[in-house]
Amino acid sequence: MEVRLKNNEDFLNTQARICKEAMMPTEQAETGNLQILLGQVGAGLDEYLKFEHPDAMHPNNCWREFLDSPLPQQGVGIGQVTADLVNHVIPNGSPVPRPGFSSFITTGSTSASTLASAAASIASPQRYMHTAFNFLEELSLQWLAKMCGIENMQGVYSSGGSVANLIALGGARQSAFERLGHDPAADGVNRSVSVYASEECHHTIQRSGGILGIGRHAIKLIACDSKGRMRLDCLQKAIAADKVAGILPMAIVANAGTTNTGAIDPLQAIGEIATENSIWFHVDGAYGLPGILDEQISHLFQGLDLADSVIVDPHKWLGASVGIAATFVRDRQCLYRAFTQEPADYLEGSVEQRDQSAPAIEHSLDDFGIPYFDFGVELSAPCRGVVVWALIREIGVQGMRERVKRHNAMARHLAQYANDHPNLEVLSEPTLSICCFRYISPHIVDLDDFNQRLHRRLVRENKYMPSTTRVKGSLALRPCYVGARADHPQVDALLESVLRIGKDLETDI
- List 280's β-bridge partners, or say none: 251
Output Rg (C-alpha) for the chain, integer angstroms.
25
pTM higher than the cut 0.85: yes
Give the span between the Cα atoms of 280 and 353, in whole angstroms: 34
* 430 alpha-carbon distance from chain centroid: 20
pLDDT (0 to 100) of residue 5: 40
Other Cβ atoms less than 10 A from the Cβ of 190: the count is 10
The torsion defined by the Cα of 444, 450, 451 and 452, in degrees rounded to 10, comes to 160
| CATH superfamily of domain region 399-506 | Aspartate Aminotransferase, domain 1 (3.90.1150.10)
The answer for residues whose C-beta is within 8 angstroms of residue 450's C-beta and 6 or more apart is 439, 444, 502, 505
For CA atoms 130, 134, 136, 138, give the dihedral sign: negative
Closest CA to 305 of 275, 263, 278: 275
Report which residue type is found at 342: E
Main-chain dihedrals φ then ψ at residue 229, nearest 5 degrees: -105, 145
Main-chain dihedrals φ then ψ at residue 346, nearest 5 degrees: -70, -20
Q: Which residues of 201-213 are buried (b: 16+ CB within 10 A; e: fewer)?
A: bbebbbebbebbe
Provide, for the chain, the percentages of residues in helix, strand and coil under a 3-state DSSP scheme, each rounded to the nearest 5. 45, 15, 40
* 271 alpha-carbon distance from chain centroid: 24
Report which residue type is found at 350: S
> Based on the number of CB atoms within 10 Å of its own CB, is 17 exposed (0-12), middle (13-18) or buried (19 or more)?
middle
Residue 390 falls in which region: left (phi positive, over 0), alpha (psi -120 to 50) or beta: alpha
Closest CA to 172 of 194, 202, 190, 157: 194
pLDDT (0 to 100) of residue 201: 94
Helix (H) or strand (E) holding 254: strand 248-255
Cβ-contact 170, 164 below 8 angstroms? no
Along the 509 residues of the chain, how does pLDDT read in single tens digits?
333 344 444 544 544 454 454 444 444 445 558 899 999 999 999 999 999 888 888 888 899 999 999 999 999 999 999 999 999 999 999 988 999 989 989 888 999 999 999 999 999 888 887 889 999 999 999 999 999 999 999 999 999 999 999 999 999 999 999 999 999 999 999 999 999 999 999 989 999 999 999 999 999 999 999 999 999 999 999 999 999 999 999 999 999 999 999 999 999 999 999 999 999 999 999 999 999 999 999 999 999 999 999 999 999 999 999 999 999 999 999 999 999 987 776 666 666 656 656 667 777 777 777 888 889 999 889 999 999 999 999 999 999 999 999 999 999 999 999 999 999 999 999 999 999 999 999 999 999 999 999 999 999 998 999 999 999 999 999 999 999 999 999 999 999 999 999 999 999 87
Other Cβ atoms less than 10 A from the Cβ of 332: the count is 19
Other Cβ atoms less than 10 A from the Cβ of 482: the count is 26
- Residue 302, SS3? coil
Cβ-contact 146, 292 below 8 angstroms? no
pLDDT (0 to 100) of residue 341: 84
The answer for residues whose C-beta is within 8 angstroms of residue 155's C-beta and 6 or more apart is 141, 144, 145, 326, 327, 328, 329, 332
Q: Parallel, antiparallel, or unpaired for β 193-198 and 248-255?
A: parallel
Query: What are the sequence ranges of the domains in the chain?
Result: 9-93, 399-506
The torsion defined by the Cα of 148, 149, 152 and 157, in degrees rounded to 10, comes to -10
pLDDT (0 to 100) of residue 282: 98
pLDDT (0 to 100) of residue 353: 58
Length of the chain equals: 509
Give the span between the Cα atoms of 310 and 198, in whole angstroms: 16
- Residue 450, SS3? helix
Q: Where are the alpha helices (DSSP H) in 277-430?
A: 332-339, 345-348, 385-420
Cβ-contact 169, 216 below 8 angstroms? no
